């Protein structure tokens, strides 16, 4: 990751003092790859590096709950790593405590700051350069799920309400259609009809959870490639990062969103829909990687619904873009007036393509699982 110097926070001295580090910082740099939290690398006088982060409370309105989730999950993973004879200083994030035993510090400006360990000699990919990288990404997130298979996911805080409640997203869209805040409803009749025809799909996973047919698990909720740190020498996955959206949910959410994001043949806002499809080879590659580590920890109902989850999470994302377009682009940042609509179109094209390939996706998933 690129380190670019910038300005230290004005309250840096009180932050360092709160963690017992005042007078020990010898160098620092700022990481500009993230878009939500402000992140610094702090070097101490003994050569140790730590990540200092400002929690964005405009996005994460319950920072103490976010930190409680992160601390409990990383503690659980650390124990698994130790049992397996691994290196917990590199294979998981670790939360540092203030001198008075708190997992984050509130400075005099009311800002929330935390320290994590810095995973040195590691990097992240921004794009899938080859299938092997996507296989390793699948294995990394599968391992994350496996390590947390015996963690009671329902005991975590739901820090963002109804985050992957797709039926609630559907209802939000219907409300946006009714309100028609930006006066755009008549422009998007085909897109609205596309969603209305798939209303039943939006209820599938939430109903399975409600009935107890699939378990509530720990979910990462942001399974993008750049949230995996890879070792600089071996190019193998080392550590899953960005745990702010860790919440109770379904393993299907993480798997489905990884396919939505990683197996698409085009950018999220591609205007030429002829370029947009789901790469079935990349789907197979990710399934092979994911099930190589997570397979035996998942239930049959979860395995059976992995292909559908890719379609559902893609539909959910498209619904969110369409809802924001109808609302006047108040949530997602846009570069031009039709940006959210273009994003919506790519997601719906992916949904349609997955529907045509669903039988093959199901066959691949079962074959890979049966071979474990």
Closest CA to 301 of 201, 216, 200: 216
Cβ atoms of 188 and 322 within 8 Å: the answer is yes
Residue 2 has pLDDT above 70, yes or no: no
Q: Over the stretch 38-96, which tens digit does the pLDDT of each residue have?
A: 899 999 999 999 999 999 998 899 999 999 999 999 999 999 999 999 999 999 999 99
pTM of the model: 0.93
CA distances 293 to 2, 29, 84, 139, 219, Å, are 30, 35, 14, 6, 16
In this prediction, residues 210-219 reach a mean pLDDT of 97
Distance of CA 76 to the CA centre of its chain: 19
CATH superfamily name and code, 131-370: Aminoglycoside phosphotransferase (APH), C-terminal lobe (3.90.1200.10)
Range with lowest mean pLDDT among 1-5, 133-137, 236-240, 346-350? 1-5
DSSP code per residue over 163-209: TT-HHHHHHHHHHHHHH-TTS-GGGGHHHHHHHHTTHHHHTHHHHHH
On whether the CB atoms of residues 201 and 167 are closer than 8 A, the answer is no
Give 115-125 pLDDT, tens digit per residue: 999 999 999 99
Contact between 368 and 287 (Cβ < 8 Å) = yes
| Residue owning tokens 């290196």 | 87
Residue 3 has pLDDT above 70, yes or no: no
Lay out the sheet containing 122-123: strands in order across: 122-123, 228-231, 237-240
Q: Are 69 and 247 in contact (CB under 8 A)?
A: yes
Specify the pLDDT at position 308: 98
Cα–Cα dist 260/348, whole Å: 11
3-state secondary structure 259-290: HHHHCECCCCCCCCHHHCCECHHHHHHHHHHH
pLDDT tier at 284 (50, 70, 90 boundaries)?
very high
**H-assigned helices in the chain:** 12-18, 63-83, 88-91, 131-147, 166-179, 189-196, 199-202, 204-211, 251-262, 280-294, 300-327, 339-370
d(CA 216, CA 219): 9
- pLDDT > 90? residue 278: yes
| Cα distance between residue 271 and residue 361, in whole Å | 26
Contacts of 160 by beta carbon, 8 Å cutoff, 6+ apart: 60, 245, 247
Q: Order across the sheet with 105-106: list the strands.
A: 3-4, 25-31, 38-44, 49-54, 112-117, 105-106
pLDDT at 1: 38
Structure confidence at residue 7 (pLDDT): 85
Contacts of 307 (CB under 8 A, 6+ apart): 354, 358, 361, 362, 364, 365
For residue 365, name the pLDDT band (cuts at 50, 70, 90): very high
**Least confident interval from 1-10, 88-97, 173-182, 296-305:** 1-10
Positions of CATH 3.90.1200.10 in the chain: 131-370
Alpha carbon 160 to chain centroid distance?
13
Boundaries of CATH 3.30.200.20 in the chain? 3-120
- Using one digit for the tens of pLDDT, what is the confidence trace for 26-37? 999 998 765 578
What pLDDT was estimated at residue 17?
A: 97
Strand 122-123, strand 228-231: pairing:
antiparallel
Instruction: Give the pLDDT confidence of 322-347 residue by residue, as tens digits.
Output: 999 999 999 998 999 999 999 999 99
Which residues contact residue 105 at a Cβ distance below 8 angstroms, ignoring those fewer than 6 apart? 15, 18, 19, 98, 112, 113, 114
Question: CA-based Rg of the chain, rounded to a whole angstrom?
Answer: 21
Which CATH number does the domain 3-120 belong to among 3.30.200.20, 3.40.50.300, 3.40.50.261, 2.40.30.20?
A: 3.30.200.20
Residue 269 pLDDT more than 80? yes
* Residues with Cβ within 8 Å of residue 276, at least 6 apart in sequence: 264, 265, 266, 270, 346, 349, 350, 353
């Amino acid at each position: 990751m690129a380190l670019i110097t910038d300005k230290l926070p004005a309250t840096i001295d009180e932050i360092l003092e709160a963690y017992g580090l005042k007078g020990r910082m010898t160098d620092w740099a700022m990481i500009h790859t993230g878009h939500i939290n402000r992140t610094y690398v702090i070097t101490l006088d003994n050569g140790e590096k730590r990540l200092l982060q400002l929690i964005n409370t405009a996005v994460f309105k319950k920072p103490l709950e976010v930190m409680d989730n992160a601390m409990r999950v990383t503690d659980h993973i650390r124990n698994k790593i130790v049992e397996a004879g691994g290196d917990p200083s590199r294979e998981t994030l670790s939360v540092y405590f203030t001198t008075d035993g708190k997992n984050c510090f509130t400075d005099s400006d009311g800002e929330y700051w935390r320290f994590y360990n810095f995973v040195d000699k590691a990097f992240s990919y921004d794009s899938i350069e080859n299938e092997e990288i996507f296989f390793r990404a699948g294995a990394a997130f599968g391992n994350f799920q496996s390590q947390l298979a015996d963690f009671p996911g329902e005991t975590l805080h739901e820090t963002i309400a109804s985050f992957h409640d797709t039926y609630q997203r559907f209802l939000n869209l219907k409300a946006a259609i009714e309100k028609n805040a930006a006066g755009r409803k008549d422009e998007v009749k085909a897109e609205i009809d596309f969603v209305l025809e798939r209303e039943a799909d939006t209820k599938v996973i939430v109903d399975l959870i409600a009935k107890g047919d699939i378990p509530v698990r720990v979910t990462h909720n942001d399974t993008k490639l750049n949230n995996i740190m890879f070792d600089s020498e071996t190019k193998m996955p080392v550590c899953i990062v960005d745990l702010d959206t860790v919440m109770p949910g379904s393993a299907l959410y993480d798997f489905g969103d990884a396919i939505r994001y990683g197996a698409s043949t085009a950018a999220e806002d591609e205007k030429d829909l002829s370029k947009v499809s789901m790469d079935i080879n990349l789907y197979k590659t990710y399934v092979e990687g994911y099930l190589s580590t997570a397979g035996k920890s998942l239930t049959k109902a979860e395995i059976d619904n992995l292909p559908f989850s890719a379609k559902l999470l893609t539909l959910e994302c498209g619904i969110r873009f369409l809802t924001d377009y109808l609302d006047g682009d108040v949530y997602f940042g846009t570069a031009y007036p039709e940006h959210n609509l273009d994003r919506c179109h790519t997601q719906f094209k992916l949904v349609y393509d997955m529907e045509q390939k669903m039988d093959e996706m199901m066959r691949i998933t079962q074959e890979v699982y049966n071979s474990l």
